[in-house]
Amino acid sequence: MTDQPVFVLGEELEALELAGFETEEEFQELLALHPRVLDFGSLADGRPLRLVLVAREMGVPTSTESGSAYWLDHLFVDADGVPTLVEVKRATDTRIRREVVGQMLDYAANAARYWPAALLQRSFEDTCVKDGRPLEEAYGEFLGEGSADEFWQTVEERLAAGQMRLLFVADRIPLELRAIVEFLNRQMRQTDVYAVELTQYRGGGDLRVLVPRIHGEVATAAKSPSGRRTTQRTTRVEMDAAIRSRPDAEVRRTAAALLDHAAAGGRLEGGTAKYRSMSVYYPVSGRQVPVWTLSLQDDPVRDDLSFAFGSITYHLGRERAAAFAAALPAVPGLVERLAALPAKDYNAWPSVSLAALAAEPGALDGVLSAIRGLVDGEGAAV
């Protein structure tokens, strides 16, 4: 790149000179206010990509017990529910060459584990409140008539499956960073990695021109179609087929009973990860609340049932979540995770092995009873 000015032709020819960003804060604020400068590519159905800001300085924990250990510069999301993690650096910051890559991978790995749907939804809505935007208007721009709860559940599932974008944004992209981005993009099957060089030119008054250049697209286009994300969701037929393949009869009975109970009293939502999964929304206090997810992995030993305490707490409050946790059966592996919930303010996804649940006498009935209590409002504050 040269320092040659660009020209704007109106009534007269005006030269705009190359101008850097004075501070990183200025750079970050620009992206938060004008995410369209990052809108390259398209959605799965061919519509133009339109990124929506979830939060600036999004906290990233490194364990279920810890608070935020790191802070991501920006988290965006698109209408397909694909999260976009953005790190901003000026060219004068020496970390733009290599250190920022390890930093970003750290953020992505921990976000996939520790950002539940309820946290993402709360962060987005807090951002809207801070910016003075009505939630109905903000959701209407990208959600249409869809359910907000379902959308954020999709975002969580995409994170867990590694279906995300990682964007390194700088006013100049060093060759070292470009080479690393292209390498990562060739190797990572579910995650797209880009470096965005955003050049700024200034003229008289407040006139500014922003010129984005994208690095990494060639490597993205070269990925195998089998490795690209898909919006196809697991169906009940696929779940039933996976259940029938399990060698343990009690595991088969337990999994089928969970899904039958959900179909009778709630709404099943297929997952989008590579393995088979279904989440269940129950009508509680006039809301559709996600309560649990059944995941059937390629290796049946890893099959599990997880409980959406983050979402339960968000929708129904801490007391209802605590009552639900107390009502769940003391299954080995689950009891320890439930005991850790108060320290996490009930914002977690405790899980139990499906085999352990099936092997524990009365455990299935205990889980179904606890769900009925949650739906009926037992343990609610009066």
Which tens digits make up the pLDDT trace of 30-83? Answer: 888 888 888 877 776 667 788 999 999 999 888 766 677 889 999 999 988 999
Nearest to 142 by CA among 35, 273, 59, 269: 35
Per-residue pLDDT reduced to its tens digit, 314-345 = 778 889 999 999 999 999 999 999 999 998 78
How far apart CA 74 and CA 54 sit, in angstroms, is 8
Residue 32 near residue 74 (C-beta atoms within 8 A):
yes
* pLDDT for position 230: 46
- Please give the average per-residue pLDDT across 285-293, as a whole number: 84
* pLDDT for position 44: 67
- Please give the average per-residue pLDDT across 190-208, as a whole number: 84
Confidence band, pLDDT 50/70/90 cuts, at residue 142 = confident
pTM exceeds cut of 0.75: no
Nearest to 199 by CA among 290, 91, 96: 91
How far apart CA 255 and CA 257 sit, in angstroms, is 5
Per-residue pLDDT reduced to its tens digit, 212-245 = 888 876 545 555 443 444 456 789 999 999 999 9
The residue among 144 and 217 whose pLDDT is bigger is 144
